Amino acid sequence: MASSSQSLSFLILTTFLFLTTHAKTAPVAPGPTPEPLNLTAILVKGSQYSTFLRLLKETQVSTQIASQLNSSFDGLTIFAPTDNAFNQLKAGTLNTLTSQEQVELVLYHVLPRFYSLNTFQTASNPINTQASGSDGVYKMNVTTSSNQLNVSTGINDAPVSSVLYSDFPLAVYSVDDVLKPEELFGVKPPAAAPAPLPAKKKAKKGPTSATAAVPSSSADAESSDSSPRMINSGWSIVFGVGIGALSYLM
Ligand SMILES: *[C@@H]1O[C@H](CO)[C@@H](O)[C@H](O)[C@H]1NC(C)=O
Ligand SMILES: *[C@@H]1O[C@H](CO)[C@@H](O)[C@H](O)[C@H]1NC(C)=O
Ligand SMILES: *[C@@H]1O[C@H](CO)[C@@H](O)[C@H](O)[C@H]1NC(C)=O
Ligand SMILES: *[C@@H]1O[C@H](CO)[C@@H](O)[C@H](O)[C@H]1NC(C)=O
């Protein structure tokens, strides 16, 4: 009788202890069970990425990344340039970029899938980034050796200096250089810069001069199927400019 009441009180005590210790940890457990992946937290912890953090926020790419991490089956890889890397840019470089170009610059540091150091070894170049423009997706090349990973943009090369995080779906690598996509930092072909304005004029002229060139027999036909190449090239310029303007707005 005595022993059974002893064991009963022991049982009650252990149950009580179990419940109290459990209750203490309870609020932690169901809350952030698998702690949500937080790129900002990873970079803040790295303590030398304040410029990149600012750009991620200003361009709202951080929001995009957060939702992608939530839903992407392929994961993401981020190259985070250090503050020192940004300091090495020619003064005012960031300010010469339009806000859309800043978005593309940040997106160029994001790859739309998870690459561990091992998967980089077998990745085939060029590798797609999340940046894109009217010329398509911006790409980079990676070269690896047993203990080194280099990223090449066509403009500059940056060795990956450390791994900040690498666990599917997210890999974050530190780089000592801002990765410069050719599309933003390359020598622009002379025609590219003044293109938008003259292109519109040309496009307007195109159809009129073309219809003038077409014999009267087909002049009534509005459709461009019988029209000379000039129209087509004129309209593809209009189309190209349209797409360019559209992606600019988006
Ligand atoms: C991510 O971490 C940052 C910095 O620690 C914090 O301010 C932010 O609220 C966190 N975001 C989420 C969604 O947990
Ligand atoms: C992530 O997904 C969960 C549920 O699927 C949702 O509640 C949460 O708001 C999402 N977070 C982000 C940052 O999209
Ligand atoms: C990476 O680049 C450095 C020079 O920046 C070079 O010495 C090294 O051989 C390269 N490594 C690989 C794997 O390409
Ligand atoms: C990647 O490498 C290929 C082959 O060497 C080269 O043609 C291409 O321009 C490179 N692209 C970049 C972004 O470096």
The secondary structure of 14-35 as a DSSP string is: HHHHHHHHHHHHTTTTTTTSSP
Residue 137 bridge partners (DSSP) = 132
Give pTM, 2 decimals. Answer: 0.68
Q: Whose CA is nearest to atom 7 of ligand 2?
A: 70
SS3 133: strand
**% of the chain beyond a pLDDT of 70:** 61
Picking from 33-42, 168-177, 228-237, which range would have the lowest pLDDT averaged per residue?
A: 228-237
Site to probe by mutation for ligand 4, drawn from 109, 139, 141 as the one with most ligand atoms within 8 Å of Cβ, is: 141
Using CB distances shorter than 6 Å, the residues near ligand 3 are: 143-145, 148, 150, 157, 159
| Interval between CA 126 and ligand 1 midpoint (Å) | 33
Q: Whose CA is nearest to atom 4 of ligand 2?
A: 70
Site to probe by mutation for ligand 2, drawn from 39, 40, 70 as the one with most ligand atoms within 8 Å of Cβ, is: 70
φ and ψ of 141, to 5 deg: -115, 145
CATH class of 39-184: mainly beta
Alpha-carbon gap, residue 55 to 112, rounded angstroms: 19
Q: Cβ(70) to ligand 2 under 6 A?
A: yes
Instruction: Please determine, for residue 167, whether its predicted confidence score (pLDDT) is greater than 60.
Output: yes
Using CB distances shorter than 6 Å, the residues near ligand 1 are: 36, 38, 40-41, 44
Q: In angstroms, what CA-CA distances link 14 with 3, 25, 168?
A: 16, 16, 40
190 Cβ contact list (under 8 Å, min separation 6): none
Residues composing the chain: 250
Q: Hey, what are 226's tokens?
A: 């019988």
Cβ 173 vs Cβ 160: under 8 Å: yes
Cβ 184 vs Cβ 97: under 8 Å: yes
| Interval between CA 36 and ligand 1 midpoint (Å) | 9
15 Cβ contact list (under 8 Å, min separation 6): none
> 10-56: per-residue pLDDT in tens?
444 444 444 444 444 444 445 445 678 899 999 999 999 999 999 99
Q: What is the DSSP string of 136-181?
A: EEEEEEEEEETTEEEEE-SS-EEEEEEEEEEETTEEEEEESS----
More confident residue, 184 or 228: 184
Cβ 186 vs Cβ 205: under 8 Å: no
Q: Hey, what are 97's tokens?
A: 């970029």
Q: Whose CA is nearest to atom 9 of ligand 4?
A: 154
